[in-house]
Amino acid sequence: MDIAEVARRAGVPASTLRYYEEKGLIASVGRQGLRRTFAPGVLDQLALVALGQAAGFSLAEIKGMFSPEGRPSIDRAQLSAKADEIDATVRRLKAMSDGLRHAAVCPAPSHAECPTFQRLLRAASAGNLQPRQKRAVRAR
């Protein structure tokens, strides 16, 4: 398939395909005139890239999920660590949502008098509501 066909079928611009090729995520197999050509399997590789990005993996981490031949070779411990990270984010966001919902309907005369809102403020000032820094996850 030429680069225009891959771009159309994958739903990404050709510039993104060239960038992914530069980063070693995909590889063209040749050229038709000035256009790069790709094997049909590139669509599966691009799907894995999209899934990895949606899960929050960096492009460098995603690159490590491919064997030198371009086949998936995913470290299960890396997937588990990312799932743990997502779970922690969900818990943090749920706590924030619950606190905000409470503050929206709190019967206290002002938010300054609401114990729940004050706990939320203390957590924010202590940095407990910020996303955790990414842990280094070793690529395979």
Least confident range of 7-11, 55-59, 134-138: 134-138
Per DSSP, which regions of the chain are E strands? 30-32, 35-37
Q: Kindly state whether residues 84 and 58 are assigned to the same domain.
A: no
> At 59, which CATH number?
1.10.1660.10
Whether residue 71 is contained in a domain is answered as no
Cα separation of 46 and 115, whole Å? 49
User: Which residues span the domain enclosing 52?
Assistant: 3-63
| pLDDT tens track for 76-104 | 999 999 999 999 999 988 988 888 888 88
Condensed to tens digits (0 to 9), the pLDDT of residues 30-70 reads 998 888 999 999 999 999 999 999 999 999 999 999 988 88
> Residues 56, 93: one domain?
no
Torsion on CA atoms 124, 128, 134, 136, rounded to nearest 10: 150
Is the Cβ–Cβ distance between 65 and 77 less than 8 Å? no
Amino acid at 139: A
Query: Could you tell me the pTM of the whole model?
Result: 0.74
**Contact 102/116 with Cβ under 8 angstroms?**
yes
